[in-house]
Amino acid sequence: MRTVSLLPARGGSKGIPNKNIAPLNGKPLIHYAIQASLNSESQETWVSTDNDEIKRVSIECGAMVIDRPAEISKDYSQSEETLLHFCDNVDFDILVFIQPTSPLLESAYIDRGIQMMNEYDSVFSVYKEHWVPRWTKEVNPDGWDANNRPMRQQMDEKYVENGAFYITKKDNLLQSKLRYSGNIGVVEMPLYKSFQIDTEEDLVLIGNML
């Protein structure tokens, strides 16, 4: 089974200009996810981008690059569009879709997911969340009763997608057009490894954690 990784990294970031190559502790952000992939059991590491500077940086970091068409590089373009474009151009059996904004991702978690593909059709990374009281924007209890507030120990724990990576079989991706489908498993990561870079404040926070 041929396993390859893909990092979608378009150039038009709104929150942080050129976010995918923003400096983080002296290295471009995408460097960390590329290294996690290169050090994993994935056989190839690819970056899909529409941006020449991201392309240059990705190659310097050791990845191969596929040019992302402009029509699937818009603000509201879905990641699945990029995954399907990759399917049409690169030969593989299992795809590891890695978010370049996951600098705390380690290769061991990717390897665990790849190994699980003997049992599952798709796998994705999560962290475990204990129950906390959530409120709507109208300041109403969201899914619980303020007159009968449950204890945390009474409530089921839940898995939360951390967005670090998704693994799926090519056949499943082509049939479902989704990043996960069929028999789905999860790779649990600790919360402190699950942070994504979305804002300048995130860069400062994660920089202090690296």
Phi, psi for residue 76 in degrees, rounded to 5: -105, 15
Structure tokens at 197: 């870079």
Task: Give me 174's structure tokens.
Answer: 């082509």
| Catalytic residue chosen out of the listed positions 2, 149, 152, 179 | 149
Q: Residue type at 34?
A: I
Torsion-angle region of 93 (φ positive above 0: left; ψ -120 to 50: alpha; else: beta)? alpha
The C-alpha angle 194, 199, 204, rounded to 5 degrees, equals 75
DSSP state of 104: T
Among 94, 106, 85, 83, CA closest to 37: 106
Angle subtended at Cα 58 by Cα 206 and Cα 43, rounded to the nearest 5 degrees: 100
Residue 149 among the catalytic residues: yes
Quote the tokens at residue 201: 């404040």
For 3, list phi and psi in degrees, rounded to 5.
Answer: -110, 125
Catalytic positions, written as ranges: 149
